[in-house]
Amino acid sequence: MTPKYSVVVPIYNEAAGLTELYRRVRCIIDQMDGSAEIIFVNDGSEDESLSLIKELRQIDFRVCYIDFSRNFGHQVAVTAGLNFARGEAVITMDADLQDPPELILELTHKWQQGYDIVYAKRIRRAKEGFFKRGTAYLFYRFLKRMADVEIPTDVGDFCLMDEKVVKVLNSMPERNRYLRGLRAWTGFRQTSVPFKRDPRFAGTVKYTFQKSLKLAIDGLASFSRIPLRVATYIGLLSALVSLLMVILVIYWRLFHPNSSLTGYTIIIAVLFFLGAVQLFSIGILGEYIGRIYEEVKKRPLYTLNEIVGFESYTDKNFVKKPNHIHEIEINK
Ligand code: UDP
Ligand code: MG
């Protein structure tokens, strides 16, 4: 017997909020119309997260976990969760309670109405810095214009997917995974549910600027080939400019033979400009070639220490009394 719902949560140093997360998710899955499993993917946490997950597993058999041998990053952690999820509908959400678990019920209602992908769409982000909100806002709109597939704006990884969507995602071999794009690419019946993004419950942001930038470049490079064309366009433009210059020089020579047209400054400036354009274009090429390199190496996406809870799933309401985790109220 398999659960009806799977909730996939990637965990990277989230010990501070983990029991609260469990408490709130638990309240929700207790109200659901079918059985559920909670899959924690421990993405190489250095804090107490793993031992907390193990304790939760002790008191609630619906908690399963996958333990990575090191930190592989958020997108890979979610991917692993999807690989192991057994539910007919799979919910993916962040561990920091920025994605309110209470919204899961709304997501499942939409699923029952026949949608295969239900996105949680942020209408407001509470207490996130101006820089983060601003860059996210611009990036999503930029990506929308650039991408080959319709990727919805202001939508993160918090969503519900039908098992057929998960199957398609699991069959995708690519390494640089921009799940939001891959998910949209599958093209099944999609809708969204609006929500207000809460501030982080505890702990610090795990997405450093570097990680966010990598995710953004992954998104762009995996779903758009326009950057590759940028080099061509700039090349064409500079060819046009140099043609104009030649015409200008000929004109000057014929009609103003005594004036000196150029100085060193302009030559140096043009040299620098062209050098910059070339380096930029090589950089873009490098992004794509790097990606090809990643793909052809065919390394596994992640390596595992341990997987627990996936052998069997029984539907009896087995919940032992917690004696060592005091924060958890079992009866809501
Ligand atoms: N996360 C992860 N691996 C990482 C970074 C983050 O599994 O290398 C998880 C993290 O524990 C959280 C989710 O990804 O559950 C989102 O991270 P965070 O809240 O820091 O990002 P943001 O809210 O800025 O998107
Ligand atoms: Mg967060």
Instruction: Examine the domain organization and report whether 235 and 182 are in the same domain.
Output: no
pLDDT for residue 2:
84
Contacts of 30 (CB under 8 A, 6+ apart): 332
- Say yes or no: 245 and 125 in one domain: no
Residue 315 covered by a domain: yes
In the reported structure, the alpha carbon of residue 200 is separated from the centroid of ligand 1 by a whole-number distance in angstroms of 11
The domain total for the chain is 2
User: DSSP characters for 26-78?
Assistant: HHHHHHSSS-EEEEEEE-S-SSTHHHHHHHHHHHBTTEEEEEESS---HHHHH
What one-character DSSP code corresponds to residue 208? -
Residue 27 lies in a domain: yes
143 in the same domain as 88: yes
Q: What is the pTM of this model?
A: 0.79
21 alpha carbon – ligand 1 mean position (Å)? 14
Would you say residue 234 lies in a domain? yes
The CATH number of residue 107's host domain is 3.90.550.10
* Cβ partners under 8 Å of residue 221, min gap 6: 176, 227, 287, 288, 291
Q: Are residues 259 and 304 in the same domain?
A: no
**Interatomic CA distance for residues 123 and 197, integer angstroms:** 7
- The residue contributing the CA closest to ligand 1 atom 25 is 207
pLDDT on residue 120: 92
In a domain, 212, yes or no: no
Look at residue 25 in the predicted model and tell me its pLDDT. Answer: 94
Ligand 1 and 135: CB distance under 6 A: no
Question: How high is the mean pLDDT in each 10-residue block of the chain (332 residues)?
Answer: 92 93 93 93 94 94 94 94 95 92 94 94 76 83 81 88 94 87 90 86 80 85 80 81 81 76 71 82 85 83 90 51 39 34
Tell whether 199 and 315 lie within a shared domain. yes
Q: Which residue has the least CA distance to atom 22 on ligand 1? A: 207
Q: Which ligand is nearest to the CA of 78?
A: 1
45 lines ligand 1 (CB under 6 A): no
Give SS3 for 221: helix
Q: Which atom of ligand 1 is nearest to the CA of 205?
A: 20
Q: Are residues 286 and 307 in the same domain?
A: no
Boundaries of domain holding 241: 226-297
Same domain, 173 and 320: yes
Q: Do 174 and 137 share a domain, yes or no?
A: yes
CA–CA gap between residue 287 and residue 282 (Å, rounded): 9
